[in-house]
Amino acid sequence: MARPKNIPGPLIGENNDEPASALDVVPEITAKPTGFVPLIPNITGEKEIELLRFKTDVGIFRRNIAWKRGAVDIQEIEHRHFWDSLSLRGEPNTHCVARNGHTHSMNYELSPDGKGIRVNCGPALREVQRRSPNGQAKRAFEPILLHMADDAVNGGYKPVHDSHNHVVTYMTTEKLLVRAD
């Protein structure tokens, strides 16, 4: 079967009887050994951050472990959270490390003289993924619903949330060198 005209034939050398070799075309490159050159650190795009580390006291988390809808079986779980004021990229952390499916909103403020610190710990929250109108997932936090209870005052039902919080203790301050974006 003959080769179609739009597909070129194999490459051939000058004598038309041997294929051209790529090694014949490339000139020979030889590396010459050199001595050591001075290594001068050229560090760019880095910044130093102060990272404050905290831990919470042991608190009680309440969870409804009932299997049936509408049933109530509350279990109490002891737990502790840890929180760093900044992420390793230097951005502020707004929530502590999650334990038992929940986290807390955290923030701190320094005293006017700079020698004291006060940390605020919010109620228990769980992380959920919400869809925006354009279809992208966005992280959101909502209170933890334990069960619905009869509301004797207003009638009907009202949600019972786990709204525990913690006393936060300062642990240490670390200075880190991070890359700046």
pLDDT in tens, the chain (181 residues): 565 666 666 655 555 555 555 555 555 666 676 666 676 766 667 778 888 999 999 999 988 888 888 788 888 989 999 999 988 778 899 999 999 889 999 998 888 888 888 899 999 999 999 998 888 999 899 998 887 777 777 777 778 888 888 999 999 988 888 776 5
DSSP notation for 43-91: --SEEEEEEEEEEEPPEEEEEE--SSTT---EEEEEE--EEESB-TTSP
Pairing, β 157-162 against β 168-179: unpaired
CA pair distance 162, 156, nearest whole angstrom:
20
pTM of the model: 0.66
- Tell me 24's DSSP state: H
In tens, the pLDDT along 116-160 reads 888 999 999 999 999 988 889 998 999 988 877 777 777 777 788
Instruction: Look at residue 103 and give its three-state secondary structure.
Output: strand
Q: Bridge partners of 64?
A: 74
